[in-house]
Structure 1
Amino acid sequence: MAELVGQILEVIKFIGRPARKYLKYQRKFTKYVADFKQAQDDLLAKNEDIQRQLDDECGYGKMPKQEVERWLKKVEEKLAHAQHVEVKVSKGKCLFRSSLGKLVDETTQALKEVHAEGHFSGRLVVNDHSIVAVKLPTQNLVGHQVSVRDEIYGYLMGDDVGMIGVCGMGGIGKTTIMKDVYNRLIPEAKFKKLIWITVSRNIDIRSIQKDIVSQLQKELPDHENTIVRAGKLSKMLREMLRKQGRYALILDDVWSSFPLEDIGIVEPTKDNGCKVVLTTRSEEVIRSMGCTKVQVTCLSMHEAIDLFLSKVGQDISENPTLKSSMRLVVGECDGLPLALVTLAACMKGISNPRVWKNAVNELRGYVRNIRDMEDKVFGSLKFSYDRLNTGDQDCFSYCALYPEDHQIEKEEIIQYWMEEGLLDEMGSREAMEDNGHSILEKFEQNSLLERVENSAYVKMHDVFRDMALHIKRKRFMVKAGKQLKELPNEEEWGEDLEKVSLMYNSISAIPQHMKCPKFPKLTTLLLSRNYLREIPESFFEHFPNLKILDLSHNPFESLPSSISALEKLTALLLIGCYYLESLPSVLKLQALKKLRLRGSGIKEIPQGLEMLVNLRYLDLLAMHPILRNPEQMREFNKLEVFEVWFCNMGDWNMYVGQRKRLHKYSILVCPLYRSKDIPSASSKLVLFERIEIIIGDAVILPYDIQQLHLKHCYGARSLNDITLRDAIHLKGCTVEDCFDLESIFSSKCDQLKKLASLTLRNLPDLIVLVGVGESSLSTFSSLKEITLCSSHKIQKLFEADRALHNLEKIEVNYCLQLEEIITEPEGEGMGTNNDSIKYNFPRLTTLILSNLPKLKGICSEMQ
């Protein structure tokens, strides 16, 4: 009845309106409805297009523009209203079409207006400055790992639990789960900062403090004690809480409990809303630190098979003849993710059923008599180790000599392998290094070593390290990075020891008389990075067959004469021993292949050095120039790597004129007061520092030089004053603080076709890179990176030509007169129609320009 009354009232209202308007809505009602539906469809289509574009552009670190978000919200409102109108139209009657027609027309116009507003210039997204952390690389979770992840996530997003402890055995996936949780927290608004710290077995308070502060982008003074540092860190975290908001801290791989206040970590409470999560193998740590426990268990058989099949490769996983063997192999892993992934990598590509059956038999042999789960882990992981040949096993075990979680420099570990004799003699050091890199690659591919973001390093998983030390338990004594202040007890020095690593400790003294017997099997003794001030005379008498002795970075002033009796010694490393001024005679060290004195305080060539004809690696880059007579180098026919300091040009020219071919070298030519940081011999480098280059006098370069550095040199107007004609292999050139230099090259240098990197800093008289009238076409044809800094006279950097097509990075700053980065060659105007000029940089990915007050443009066409 009420509806009928309302309709009658509508008719009465229209009686008073102009008949023409009434008849229009009545007569053209069908057209209004058609226009309405078309406008509705158009807006829906436009909305879908915008949404698709937004999905494509709105990746990590991006967010929709505010105008886009407002438009999408308006679209949602208008389309919802349109649906309401559509319902009214479907229920309307002919008598009342005039009223509905007016409503439909108004709605149509509103839809068209919103559609017209949906045109945005450029991209639909902007940078999201609220990002609180960088995503961590991880793998997909499997099975119950997902539910564990969700449990942890729930605690973090809730308010009741502040301390969370994730517990489980080594290799079970605790870190993998936490990485996934960490990545899921990044877009959440709850936490304004996420902090990830790897703790490891030996808790180092200073290191943890340093890592946290680094992620806060702040600093703590190194000289202050841990208590003061803890107070300052606590203050930093409280200020962040007050100004920015709450944080979540993840402590990965915790082996023992500790008070949070010792570090400076603010205790989580309901009031501050912060969270602390730790992963550990120990339930005792969980209990003593007051954490809510989240247990990670092994995968079920079904989950384990799925993980294994996903990693072993499709060609193997779908092979029906291998299914039963694969199931047995997976069963022997007992659901441990690390073991499953490792075994899958090891068996990838192997389709021979007999090899798979043998794998089952080997795994069963290792596990059969093992009592506890930890040994079972070693049994599974040891299978991958046992598939290596004996030489590769020794190389792998050598990685365990480093501290836990240590990032191992690839070049360094390969050098150890070489001097230890673990790599086959291959005729040259270069070939042996290539072999070493091949072995490391094999370890990485088989998941025996972890790749580090910086490809120059690798890492050994702590479970693998434990396994390797378990295998070598009678032959290795490794207490690296244990914060020891004295040598291990004498009862720990077994007669069967082959390798002892005490690196990265705080050992300051060695007992005057060790009661231990001699160790005839000991070949490696690593004591680097300790606080040794004195070594007893009798100490080296205990190790008659020592091959590798690393005493680097210790503050002792002298070495005992007993070191001269180590006739089997192949490598003596004394890097960074600043207080060491002299060495005992090395005459008897005839087996010595490597001697490094870089950064030591040595002032004279060790007596008998010229008699060491087997030397392959000689580093004389000490704090003082100690090579007085280059003629001494004639005897070293086997030398392949050489690092040395010549204090005058005469000695340098004499040496370079007679030298043999070297695999690598790092040579400094400097009269006095050398730079502190001299690059190691990773290539073929010559550094001239504080040298007067007299025009007309020949400055000879080795024909195979790859890196040329000039610092604080004077006299030369360009590098052409140095003999560059033979430098056909030059890849990198750095010139700094050379005040007379007007151009880098006064004439074109067609022979520098391999020059890839050019770094120029503080050259106050520099006007051009290449002399006027000379083309840079050949000189820079391979250039990938150029850096120009603090050169205030230069106005233009490059002439535009095809020579720059390999450029990947340009960085220019503090050049006060620079007007243009790339300019046309002289004589070529914009109207010349010269088709040879190309402004094309297909590989350029980085352009950094700063503090260039007179810069007018990047290149002429862009002004």
Structure 2
Amino acid sequence: MESATSILFEIGKYTVKPIKRQVSYLFHLNTIFNDLRKAKEELVSIQAIVQERVERARMNTEVTEIIVQEWLTNVNQVVADVHTLENKIEENKKSRNYRFPKWIGRYKLSKEATQKTTTIRKLHLEGNFTQVAHRAPTPGIEIFMSSDFEMFESRKMTFQRIMEALCDNNSYSIGVCGMGGVGKTTLVKEVHKKAKESNLFNDIVMTTVSLTPDIRRIQGEIADQLNLKLDEESSSARANRICLRIKSVEKILIILDDVWKDVELEVIGIPFHDDHKGCKILLTTRNDHVCNLMDCGRKIPLNFLSDKESLALIKKIACIIDDYPPLNDVVMKVVKECKGLPIAIVTVGKALARKPLNDWKWSYVRLKRKTKFCFLLCSLFPEDYDISIEELARYVMGLDEFGTITCLEEARNEVRVIINNLKDSYLLLESNRETHVKMHDMVCDVALWIVSKGENEFMLRVCTRLEKNENFDSMTAISLMTSNPEHLPNKIACPRLKILLLGRNELDFSEVSDTLFAEVNVLKVLSLRLKFLSSQSLNLFSNLRSLYLAGCNFTNIYSLGKLKRLEVLSFYHCRMDALPNELGELKNLRLLDLMRCDQQNPIQPGLLQRLSVLEELYIVKDSFKDWDDEERQAKRCNVKLSELSSLSRLIVLSLHLSLTRVPIGFVFPNLQRYDISINSFYGYHIFTGHQIPEYPYSRILRIINLDASSPNAFKLLFRSVEYLLIDSCGMEYLIDIAGGNHAVMFSNLVKLSLQNLSCLRTICQGPTHQLTFSNLIVLDLNYCRLLTELLSPVVAQSLGKLENLKLSNCDALKQIISKEDRTLLHSQNQHICLPKLRILEIVGCNQLEYIFPMTVARGFPQLETLRMSKLPQLKQVIGHEDEGEVVDGNDVILSKLRWLILEDLPNFGTLYRGTCSSMWPSLEVLKVVNCPEMKSSFAADLEANMQALGKKLKVLHVEGRLCDIALLLLTQGLLNLEDLGINNCEELEELFKPAGFLSQGNYQDELLLSRLTVSRCKRLRKLFTLTIAQSLQKLRFLNIDSCDELEHLITQDDQILPEAHLQHTFFPRLVDVSVNECNKMTCLFPVTIADGLLRLRRVEVKGASQFVEVFAQKDERDGQIRKDVLLPKLKYLTFTRLPRLVNLCPRNYHFTLPSLCRLDLDVLTCPDITDRFTSALDDVVHVNGEVKLQFLQLVLFLCVKRILQIDEKEELACRAHNDSSSKTLSNENASLYTTIGHYWTGYFCSWNND
């Protein structure tokens, strides 16, 4: 009896709980629903945090981790599913059936809600990312390739000699020598390009050494191109890090341009000769002797161009025709003056392109006086230096060579015009940064030669180094930006010196002697980059007008008050205790720059107010977060914001503050340029993520996390603002112009971004005729959940310059252009046109049924991108059922449309309401996914565009009924198709048909397809025929999911492809293969093609019940001979739910996997695996096909922890087959990867916790 009771008790224990759970689904819907809603809200909060981290990383040019992208995608999907489920639950609550609830529906909803809650909680745990992104690889030198390179006969021979030397395994160092300007840099850039195209090296790095090598800069440039982060401070530690990185590359080319003397490669971190035989050095130099010093095995001279070549080059550059003899005679004289130097020919040719004969008398003398002055000033900077235009302008202001100027802004604008003229004349070059320029070293040599003569009208005589016993009496300008500290004397006697530039960065000079400046009494401009600077040094500069201090540390700077003539004062990246009160004595100060200045104590009250003539103020640093509103100021000794408003001459302001609300009187009526940010992350463009200039060249306003009333304080700036970001503020409207007369708002606005404004109901409160967006280019709204209408028709008509419109997650938005006044426009036969709109993206706006009314039907002549995603109510893009008019008659031609993406639109029918077709002659990307109500008219549009799509289309993702048209396109040939996705095509049996797919384009040798995704094609039997497979030389990603009938990837006709026929290389660029739920598939590839998979990085196979082997061997005789296969790039292997899986490689095959870093193998669902994985001391993983074993054998060696690794301190006891003893491997020697350990725990592995 007791036994029976015990049995019944056990049965009850395992049955009552499930029954109780099932019953709870009926009676606890509200509780389950509340749990779901709470879990969803928590998930959305976590998502917002992760998304913010991702955005920060994106702004820092980092690449989001794939696992983070997948998590965000999953979260979006789950949140959307929960939203749908919530609607169903609400409907169920309201529904009654003869006074009884729908119990079956309630049960299903409760169960589904419980499952969603479980999924959400799992996402909670997964969302705790330690890292969301990694640094993106920097672009190579190819983006800076010269377009002026001509492969003349003299260059062709030199080029071929260099390429031959690079291909010679016994040649480690090649030197290209020739006179300055002969074209060495341009030539090696072409070598860089050709070597990269030919895949001669795994990596290619190019950097400029110059006359005075800056080791840290060179190291930084090499590290950037190798995507290496250098955290070390010392140059030796950085060199060691670079050396390790270079040694990790099998074959690497390092190009050192402009080498002047013997360079110690080990100081930079470049291994050489026996240290790394895969590293080759290609250097350029003006001196043949340098090639000997650098032990160059090959010296290749580059000579001048012949007269014939020079003439041909200048005619091409200057666009000269041959039938004009007078000009040809002059050109020939110019060519002879250029002495066969390509740089001289190109510079002169570009300057004189399409100019009349008289303009060919151009020379330096012809430059205007001020232009000459700026040109000569640029020569003060080192070779290949990024010259800041702003810094240059401040020097010009201090030297007072432009005569009387009304304001600094006037002088700055004149300098910008001059710089542009010099660039147009090719005397200055573009820099990588928009706000900087460069001067070619040969042009710099010419400028220095001019000033060295001492005969120029500015009395400007320059020296760039101090020699012993040299007389400096006549020197008016000295640049010591590249000198070493030990080369400085204790004192320099320069009675005429006007400008002194000392130090390139603060690491060059820790400090200098106070007596150094004892006899420089007339100095007007001083630039110091020192680590330490004493107050006594500043006492000597009574005539100083411009002082630029960078990276300096101050203990006190009270003597600043003695610089009575000072007009420009710049502290950049400086550290100080506090700004001294004596600063207020600088009555002539017109510019104060505290950019990124680290100040320990707040600015004293009244200090800025005393600078009565101040025109420009730059304060950007978190240390100024103590600035706050008036009430809190009463409790603090800090400067009041209202002081700034009292500066009547202030016209330029850069101000970044942390505030909760803006005080009264925060008004700047005279500002011409500004960058004002409240609670904003500094330094990145509010729309593009690109870094903005540190000194504002426009009018930027960022407002984040302020109360509802604070933005009204900026109403005056709304009239002039060009870039406006408002984020997380409690406002109900952007601007209130109701009642009274108001100036036209936002007429200068170029870019507007409204983010996370949960209370925003309308853009404008009041009559919209006073609101115009006539200069708006970008409009971006996100998470404005109460906004129901965006623009009135009157305002929409002003959007003549709008190029980019992005709306996302505006849940209540029903109309982009409101119905107000729309009837009036129609009666007046007026149409709304967006003539410059290029990008239209709408995502997650749940109430939108259409995008634009009929009046905008033909108003998109420039539209390039149309993306509609996650719009559950959307029925068409143009038109609404309430409108009587439809678009009929002529086709709507979207001639510029390149991207058409329609995703997750459950009610979407067609683009236009009516019977017309739309034409897309330029379409390159077409994605139509999860649009179940798509009407036949859209399919008709697709057919009508068939011919154009065949020529242009690069990306095609379709599903369901549109697959038939996609297959028709494939049979006709898609010449440029790179990405193909086919989903849910139930009738599809064969994807590619060679008879049509290859013959149309007549390109049998190679297709452009690089990514293929096929999913839920239940009847698909054939994927690649032999002919197609041989043509897919560029395929990189292959993803097959839920294709029940698919047995093999490669077939020939109706038979499985015999291995004897696989003689060609298949899939040489294949990187990633994923197969999921293909239950009839037995293998992935024939083993005979394995040797060609040199770039394969990841293989994943899941849920294939008949899958036996990854690489199949059909001919048993091949298994009698041992064969070696190398997969050099394979890093990730995943196998799960494969009950018949026997091996990765066939019997007697030996696979070597030198890069493998992760193996996920679920032996519980893959019980028959026979391969043996081993790791030797060289860290290389080997896989051997064995005779069938009862259990998986795992042989671990000392260095296996790179692959099988855990963080815990447990030890693993691994029992080998038929071995009763346990061998314990400590964590120092080997340990299983956590996920593998969990898969294998209890099967043949056990954890020891003692």
TM-score, normalised with respect to structure 1: 0.65
What is the alpha-carbon distance in structure 2 between the residues aligned to residue 221 and residue 440 of structure 1?
36
> Which secondary structure does the structure 2 equivalent of 1:501 belong to?
strand
Determine whether 1:745 maps to 2:718.
no
Q: Determine which of 385, 388, 392 is the counterpart of 2:364.
A: 385
Please give the residue correspondences for 1:541-560 in structure 2 after superposition, counting only pairs within 5 Å: 541-551=518-528, 553-556=529-532, 558-560=534-536
Quick one: structure 1 residues 264 and 569, their matched pair in 2 at CA, closer, same or farther if it must change by over 3 Å? Answer: closer
Q: Given that residues 819 and 857 in structure 1 are in contact (C-alpha distance below 8 angstroms), is that contact kept between their aligned partners in structure 2?
A: no
Gaps of 5+ in 2: 1-136, 455-460, 631-638, 661-670, 681-696, 739-743, 820-846, 874-902, 912-930, 932-1250
1:755-794 per-position Cα deviation (integer Å, ceiling 9, x unaligned): 2234567x5x7354846999999576644346678x6978
Determine whether 1:236 maps to 2:249.
no
Q: Given that residues 510 and 534 in structure 1 are in contact (C-alpha distance below 8 angstroms), is that contact kept between their aligned partners in structure 2?
A: no
Quick one: structure 1 residues 172 and 839, their matched pair in 2 at CA, closer, same or farther if it must change by over 3 Å? Answer: same
Q: Which moved more, 1:562-571 or 1:495-504?
A: 562-571
1:43-101 per-position Cα deviation (integer Å, ceiling 9, x unaligned): xxxxxxxxxxxxxxxxxxxxxxxxxxxxxxxxxxxxxxxxxxxxxxxxxxxxxxxxxxx
Q: Name the structure 2 match of 1:666.
A: 654
Residue 327 of structure 1 deviates from its aligned partner by 2.5
Determine whether 1:151 maps to 2:161.
yes
Q: Name the structure 2 match of 1:201.
A: 211
Please give the residue correspondences for 1:394-473 in structure 2 after superposition, counting only pairs within 5 Å: 394-473=373-452
Q: Name the structure 2 match of 1:6.
A: none
Residue 283 of structure 1 deviates from its aligned partner by 1.4
Quick one: structure 1 residues 156 and 641, their matched pair in 2 at CA, closer, same or farther if it must change by over 3 Å? Answer: same
* 2:379 alignment partner AA: A
Q: Determine which of 159, 173, 183 is the counterpart of 2:193.
A: 183
Structure with more helix by fraction: 1
Q: Given that residues 535 and 556 in structure 2 are in contact (C-alpha distance below 8 angstroms), is that contact kept between their aligned partners in structure 1?
A: no
Quick one: structure 1 residues 144 and 577, their matched pair in 2 at CA, closer, same or farther if it must change by over 3 Å? Answer: same
What is the alpha-carbon distance in structure 1 between the residues aligned to residue 240 and residue 672 of structure 2?
42
Q: Name the structure 2 match of 1:38.
A: none
What is the alpha-carbon distance in structure 1 between the residues aligned to residue 469 and residue 242 of structure 2?
41
> Which secondary structure does the structure 2 equivalent of 1:422 belong to?
coil
> Which secondary structure does the structure 1 equivalent of 2:249 belong to?
helix
Residue 489 of structure 1 deviates from its aligned partner by 5.6
Please give the residue correspondences for 1:17-28 in structure 2 after superposition, counting only pairs within 5 Å: none
Q: Name the structure 2 match of 1:161.
A: 171
Q: Given that residues 209 and 229 in structure 1 are in contact (C-alpha distance below 8 angstroms), is that contact kept between their aligned partners in structure 2?
A: yes
Q: Determine which of 711, 715, 725 is the counterpart of 1:724.
A: 715
> Which secondary structure does the structure 1 equivalent of 2:655 belong to?
strand
> Which secondary structure does the structure 2 equivalent of 1:584 belong to?
helix
> Which secondary structure does the structure 2 equivalent of 1:401 belong to?
coil
Q: Name the structure 2 match of 1:364.
A: none
Quick one: structure 1 residues 344 and 783, their matched pair in 2 at CA, closer, same or farther if it must change by over 3 Å? Answer: closer
> Which secondary structure does the structure 1 equivalent of 2:463 belong to?
strand
Residue 169 of structure 1 deviates from its aligned partner by 0.7
* 1:544 alignment partner AA: N
What is the alpha-carbon distance in structure 2 between the residues aligned to residue 234 and residue 849 of structure 1?
49
> Which secondary structure does the structure 2 equivalent of 1:647 belong to?
coil
Quick one: structure 1 residues 187 and 746, their matched pair in 2 at CA, closer, same or farther if it must change by over 3 Å? Answer: same
1:259-310 per-position Cα deviation (integer Å, ceiling 9, x unaligned): 5444343446899665432111121222232231211101112222222333
Residue 547 of structure 1 deviates from its aligned partner by 0.2
Quick one: structure 1 residues 853 and 541, their matched pair in 2 at CA, closer, same or farther if it must change by over 3 Å? Answer: farther
Q: Given that residues 247 and 276 in structure 2 are in contact (C-alpha distance below 8 angstroms), is that contact kept between their aligned partners in structure 1?
A: no
Q: Name the structure 1 match of 2:998.
A: none
Quick one: structure 1 residues 575 and 140, their matched pair in 2 at CA, closer, same or farther if it must change by over 3 Å? Answer: closer
Q: Which moved more, 1:795-804 or 1:187-196?
A: 795-804
Q: Given that residues 788 and 811 in structure 1 are in contact (C-alpha distance below 8 angstroms), is that contact kept between their aligned partners in structure 2?
A: yes
Q: Which moved more, 1:405-414 or 1:341-350?
A: 341-350
Residue 133 of structure 1 deviates from its aligned partner by 6.9
Q: Determine which of 553, 568, 576 is the counterpart of 1:594.
A: 568
* 2:517 alignment partner AA: F
What is the alpha-carbon distance in structure 1 between the residues aligned to residue 867 and residue 203 of structure 2?
28
Quick one: structure 1 residues 671 and 718, their matched pair in 2 at CA, closer, same or farther if it must change by over 3 Å? Answer: closer
> Which secondary structure does the structure 1 equivalent of 2:653 belong to?
strand
1:601-624 per-position Cα deviation (integer Å, ceiling 9, x unaligned): 456655665554433323356524
* 1:294 alignment partner AA: I
Quick one: structure 1 residues 277 and 821, their matched pair in 2 at CA, closer, same or farther if it must change by over 3 Å? Answer: farther
Q: Determine which of 320, 335, 338 is the counterpart of 2:325.
A: 320
> Which secondary structure does the structure 1 equivalent of 2:718 belong to?
coil
> Which secondary structure does the structure 1 equivalent of 2:248 belong to?
helix
> Which secondary structure does the structure 1 equivalent of 2:721 belong to?
coil
Q: Name the structure 2 match of 1:215.
A: 225
Q: Name the structure 1 match of 2:543.
A: 568
Q: Determine which of 235, 252, 259 is the counterpart of 1:254.
A: 259
* 1:337 alignment partner AA: P
Determine whether 1:688 maps to 2:688.
no
Determine whether 1:754 maps to 2:754.
no
1:521-579 per-position Cα deviation (integer Å, ceiling 9, x unaligned): 1001122533555554544331110000122x43325321x634533211122344343
Residue 186 of structure 1 deviates from its aligned partner by 3.3
> Which secondary structure does the structure 2 equivalent of 1:753 belong to?
coil
What is the alpha-carbon distance in structure 1 between the residues aligned to residue 280 and residue 515 of structure 2?
54
Q: Name the structure 2 match of 1:53.
A: none
Q: Name the structure 1 match of 2:627.
A: 647
* 2:590 alignment partner AA: R
Q: Name the structure 2 match of 1:498.
A: 476
Q: Name the structure 1 match of 2:1132.
A: none
Determine whether 1:522 maps to 2:512.
no
Determine whether 1:331 maps to 2:336.
yes
> Which secondary structure does the structure 1 equivalent of 2:163 belong to?
helix
Gaps of 5+ in 1: 1-128, 360-382, 480-487, 673-680, 691-703
Q: Given that residues 547 and 569 in structure 2 are in contact (C-alpha distance below 8 angstroms), is that contact kept between their aligned partners in structure 1?
A: yes
Quick one: structure 1 residues 219 and 203, their matched pair in 2 at CA, closer, same or farther if it must change by over 3 Å? Answer: same
Q: Name the structure 2 match of 1:22.
A: none
What is the alpha-carbon distance in structure 1 between the residues aligned to residue 506 and residue 351 of structure 2?
38
Q: Determine which of 171, 183, 198 is the counterpart of 2:181.
A: 171
> Which secondary structure does the structure 2 equivalent of 1:635 belong to?
coil
What is the alpha-carbon distance in structure 2 between the residues aligned to residue 806 and residue 774 of structure 1?
24
What is the alpha-carbon distance in structure 1 between the residues aligned to residue 218 and residue 785 of structure 2?
47
Please give the residue correspondences for 1:223-302 in structure 2 after superposition, counting only pairs within 5 Å: 223-226=233-236, 228-241=237-250, 246-267=251-272, 275-288=280-293, 289-302=295-308
Q: Name the structure 2 match of 1:707.
A: 700
What is the alpha-carbon distance in structure 2 between the residues aligned to residue 534 and residue 606 of structure 1?
21
What is the alpha-carbon distance in structure 2 between the residues aligned to residue 217 and residue 850 of structure 1?
35
TM-score, normalised with respect to structure 2: 0.46
What is the alpha-carbon distance in structure 1 between the residues aligned to residue 718 and residue 384 of structure 2?
42
* 1:615 alignment partner AA: L
> Which secondary structure does the structure 2 equivalent of 1:545 belong to?
coil
Q: Given that residues 578 and 603 in structure 2 are in contact (C-alpha distance below 8 angstroms), is that contact kept between their aligned partners in structure 1?
A: yes
Residue 437 of structure 1 deviates from its aligned partner by 1.8
What is the alpha-carbon distance in structure 1 between the residues aligned to residue 218 and residue 866 of structure 2?
36
Q: Name the structure 2 match of 1:697.
A: none
> Which secondary structure does the structure 1 equivalent of 2:544 belong to?
coil
Q: Name the structure 1 match of 2:1205.
A: none
Quick one: structure 1 residues 209 and 458, their matched pair in 2 at CA, closer, same or farther if it must change by over 3 Å? Answer: same
Q: Which has the higher contact order (CA 8 A, sep 6+)?
A: 1
Structure with more strand by fraction: 2
Residue 185 of structure 1 deviates from its aligned partner by 3.0
> Which secondary structure does the structure 2 equivalent of 1:314 belong to?
coil
Residue 398 of structure 1 deviates from its aligned partner by 1.1
